[in-house]
Amino acid sequence: QLQLQESGPGLVKPSETLSLTCTVSGGSISSSSYYWGWIRQPPGKGLEWIGSIYYSGSTYYNPSLKSRVTISVDTSKNQFSLKLSSVTAADTAVYYCARHDVLVGVSPDYWGQGTLVTVSS
Amino acid sequence: DIVMTQTPLSSPVTLGQPASISCRSSQSLVHSDGNTYLSWLQQRPGQPPRLLIYKISNRFSGVPDRFSGSGAGTDFTLKISRVEAEDVGVYYCMQATQLTTFGQGTKVEIK
């Protein structure tokens, strides 16, 4: 059974860089059938796609966040990571990692449980 | 950017009765490969979202057949034929034709 688990600091200071890692178990990240993505959800609000990466390293970012986002993949560790720079309180959210399966319309079919990141001094 | 607009934003329903959610995109979701990458997801309270429907009308593995999706181009609908207590939550449409965007979400609650 595929599992995804987010990890990283739960508290980040304003203007610093948020860094999260998603560890994939029960399956390989190096498959041509999947993209791997980050999605966030501010408290009490809706979902916002941050970006996705293919195992080859090709990346796709939300235009509204593109200047601050970097997503990378480490196939040797079966992990992919998110870096969001110059954070403000507006970046406080639950951050989810997810698998996007090409065979189901590039839809996110497996999700991590999410990790709350608070931006505060 | 493709904007996804859902209506209604809140839907109180009676158990056993049908429910319907609409989703409209700001431009056609037909991809150059001929597919329409429109999905529906359910988020129960305190849980991550769960995929229900992909490519307009295909139920994902394990999804009950009371959920159905329809539509084309820019207008799409999710229907629940008979709402059950476990269907309470927020429903999102999502497009993956051009990058990815979500609708605002529709809260389904029991009257």
Q: How many CB atoms lie within 10 A of CB B7?
A: 13
Q: Tell me which residue in B48, B50, B105 faces A46 most closely, judged by beta carbons.
A: B105
Q: Please state, for a pLDDT cut of 70, what percent of chain B lies above it.
A: 100
Confirm if B94 and A107 have CB atoms less than 8 A apart.
Answer: yes
In angstroms, what separates the C-alpha of A97 from chain B's closest C-alpha? 10
Taking the alpha carbons at both ends of chain B, their separation in whole angstroms is 36
Which one-letter DSSP state was computed for residue A91?
Answer: G
Q: Tokens representing A119?
A: 């931006």
Return the beta strands (E) in chain B as ranges. 4-7, 10-13, 19-25, 38-43, 50-54, 58-59, 67-72, 75-80, 89-95, 101-102, 106-110
Q: CA-to-CA distance for B1 and A5, rounded, in angstroms? A: 30
In angstroms, what separates the C-alpha of A15 from chain B's closest C-alpha? 26
pLDDT in tens, A73-88: 999 999 999 999 999 9
Q: Tell me which residue in B38, B60, B102 faces A46 most closely, judged by beta carbons.
A: B102
Q: CA-to-CA distance for B6 and A43, rounded, in angstroms? A: 20
pLDDT in tens, B70-85: 999 999 999 999 999 9
**pLDDT higher than threshold 90 for residue A55:** no
Residue A56 pLDDT level (bands cut at 50, 70, 90): confident
